[in-house]
Chain A
């Protein structure tokens, strides 16, 4: 008993959102992945024939591609994949009113602070519980503006032509092994369409949550930002902790039309046994701007490289990435920018913090195609190391086929300076407070780009993770 108390008192590395709801599902597939599973998913979703064909072809491609031998350690992944359920459907119909949402799901959201967010009249909250949207609300004015913010399934049902025109065009099935897997078994995610000229001041928000043990989540999001539109989509993820490894592999496709401005923000805080392998890509047209704001705090291994394909003249891509790796975690993240048109500009800023036995890797690709005249790009990577056992890597691939390109890359690695700590402590701070303040200062350039609630959440999460980091 005394022993238990001590452990509880410490509670240092306890996963803060490690609560578990009683499972309540209507249908789930057999564990593992097979043609049968793919057919079941498609049948359950009552999909058109072309989507079933699309899924089956994707399964073939998935099976033909080898497991990546770069990035993080994927050696234990196959065992996980053989055990997880590729599709779980929690309830039958979509909910549109908060009152209709089942209590146990509400309870989960409450712990995550969603109702407060709602109270603040935060735009639309599309919350993904397990594999499908269960709660969805859209501000009336957006309906009036013609904005579509649906679950991906409803997007396919209600807007088949728009859906088919863009689905799978940004990230082809065969792009990589996990985009192929997602294409075979995708379930849940958002379908967003912003009509030309529409500007949204408040962000579209979706809260993702994986709840059931041994369940993979394969959300698929398709976003079309029409010509001259302006919007911000925020996705946050938390998941309960389990003893066995879990798996998440999403595909996010974004089309940013001429003169549009779109920002996609993710704060990922999966539990520390999660494999998080995500493909995120945007096609950016003439004079449009795409911004990725990517925060990676949780998971056991994340491999995620948001990308911008700058295909229209004057397109701009911006990637802000922050990673936090604690004990046993590996964040292999970064970004990709492809300059395929003249006068395109881009910037990548990456900041990482590694603590304990954590490892943060920046992996980036910067490509300037022949003919993309006057492309300009700058990449900056800063890594902060908190313990002598922490590791950090930087792998910036730079491929330039155009003379007039201006490309720069810089990276620094440092530890929290003794002088900085000493100064703050001489002002009366505890070592722990001083450390937290320095870390906050380090991530500030990225945190300040977040909507307020998320900046607060990010800071709180990092503070929680930093507890007990001194000594």
Chain B
């Protein structure tokens, strides 16, 4: 593994009373030996990796000393909640009530899977949706879980927090779509956080075999939290030859949360791995998203939308790796910023040597709605092949005065005109997405934020 000689000494930054080696040992109780080894390997890396500082390019605009207090956190433990909607928090039922048709539902509370239902006809075709814990522990273990969990996509080598999640994850969702099977309706996952003051770790592993097709909509939410809470999530998408995976994450956590999601998509020959990340909630949101174009003809469309207000701080760190020739990736992140909020976008397109005929695009657009909001954007390119089409763009601006004036000249009051322009700006993202339920939820939430202005 990539533990170099100089990193071999444990420096133990971020090792706390709750987040440490014995916690990883405890998590491994009752798990197969390979899983225990994987957790120990991860905690090794965590102990040896320094806490990221703003001296690191990837953390340049987010100072963790102000944003994350690991020492204050307890370790989230298994929620003792029955598989019965009446015993779930109201917020979970409300979120699910708005979800339209689904191929499957999964509910997690504090990182523990408490409910799974799957369309029987799909189960008959071999589709597997289970808790990650069951996938790991089952006797006739799903070999694929062992092969892919925290190894090829989001492995501990991908950073301090990837290592911490791999060492301490409690549970998560495992999805396996057999070869050629298409899911016409999305899998809908609702993750609820109720214990404040804790660190919660969960994961998702989505494995789509050759030419299969699946959409996965993940919603994470909570009420406002009265203590600093860390919500860590890792998402691994493996799209084998010709497979088509669409992953959507909707972050609506309450204030008080530090939401971290580390996502990595692997797209093999002719595969498609698309993502949409919407950030609305939490006090601090950090997304690490990497798309790997590993096979010729692979593609990834990466959409992002954020609306920050108050003292919210959103940091999106994205990368597009063109490893194989003839691949396509297109990233569009748009955000509006109000109050004292701040958005950070750092993206990079890497076209590796020999990845000829790569098409790669990257755009970040920001709308500043208040005097005190700010945006830092850093769209990077690193190109090491000559026959490529690459471009990137970034803009930061305020509402277009002419558009506002036009609307107001038509008798629309200023406040409403402003809302229309903001929705129009963000609407470009919705227009690329036709998922029932998601657009309505996001639209309503943004309308609410705008109304509070």
Chain A: residues with CB nearer than 8 A to chain B? 70, 368, 370, 383, 385-415
Contacts and interface: CB of A to CB of B under 8 A. Distances in A.
A471 B378 CA distance: 37
Given A386-B386, A403-B369, A398 B381 contact: no
Contact of A409 (B356, B375, B379): B379
Given A395-B380, A406-B398, A411-B392, 12 more contacts: A387-B386, A392-B382, A396-B378, A397-B376, A398-B378, A399-B376, A403-B398, A404-B398, A406-B397, A407-B397, A409-B377, A415-B388
B351 to A, nearest CB: 8
A400 B388 contact: no
A383 B372 CA distance: 35
Contacts of B379: 394, 396, 409, 411
A263 B429 CA distance: 43
B188 to A, nearest CB: 37
30 contacts: A70-B57, A385-B386, A388-B353, A388-B385, A388-B387, A391-B384, A392-B381, A394-B379, A395-B378, A396-B378, A396-B394, A398-B394, A399-B61, A400-B375, A402-B368, A403-B373, A404-B398, A405-B396, A406-B396, A406-B398, A407-B397, A408-B393, A409-B379, A410-B391, A411-B379, A411-B391, A411-B392, A413-B383, A415-B386, A415-B387
Nearest to A404: B398
Contacts of A383: 381, 383
A394 B380 contact: yes
A253 B354 CA distance: 43
B194 to A, nearest CB: 37
Contacts of A387: 386
Nearest to A392: B383
Task: Name which of B61, B354, B369, B392 has the most chain A CB atoms within 10 A of its CB.
Answer: B392
B90 interface: no
B163 interface: no
A98 to B, nearest CB: 47
Contact of B368 (A396, A399, A400): A400
B376 A400 contact: yes
Contacts of A398: 375-378, 394, 396
B370 interface: yes
Contacts of B386: 385-388, 390, 415
B322 to A, nearest CB: 12
A394 B394 contact: no
B78 interface: no
Given A388-B387, A405-B397, A411 B381 contact: yes
Contacts of A411: 379, 381, 390-393
B395 interface: yes
A398 B366 CA distance: 11
B125 interface: no
Given A400-B376, A405-B368, A409-B379, A414 B393 contact: no
B374 interface: yes
B389 interface: yes
Contacts of A414: 388-389
B33 interface: no
A346 to B, nearest CB: 14
Contacts of A412: 390-391
Contacts of B143: none
A366 to B, nearest CB: 9
Given A392-B381, A400-B375, A413 B391 contact: yes
Contacts of A386: 386
Contacts of B370: 403
Question: Interface size for chain B: under 10, 10 to 19, 20 to 34, or 35 or more residues?
Answer: 35 or more
The 6 A-B residue pairs whose C-beta atoms are closest, nearest first, are A385-B386, A394-B381, A403-B368, A413-B390, A400-B396, A407-B396
B371 interface: yes
Contacts of A385: 383, 385-386, 388
A400 B373 CA distance: 9
Contact of A400 (B366, B380, B389, B392): B366
A439 B379 CA distance: 26
Contacts of A394: 379-381, 392
Q: Which of B366, B383, B393 is the most central at the interface, judged by chain A CB atoms within 10 Å of its CB? A: B383
A408 B375 CA distance: 13
Contacts of B382: 391-393
Contacts of B368: 400, 402-405
A298 to B, nearest CB: 22
> Which of A383, A386, A398, A405 has the most CB atoms of chain B within a 10 A radius of its CB?
A398
B274 to A, nearest CB: 23
Interface in B143-167: none
B256 to A, nearest CB: 26
A211 B114 CA distance: 77
Contacts of B389: 413-414
B233 to A, nearest CB: 28
Nearest to B363: A410
A147 to B, nearest CB: 41
Contacts of A368: 396
Question: Of residues B370, B387, B389, which shows the largest number of chain A Cβ atoms within 10 Å of its Cβ?
Answer: B387
Interface in B330-382: 353-354, 356, 366, 368-382
Contacts of A413: 381, 383, 388-391
B374 A401 contact: yes
Nearest to B382: A393
A189 B66 CA distance: 45
B57 to A, nearest CB: 8
A61 B385 CA distance: 41
Nearest to B358: A413
A62 B234 CA distance: 43
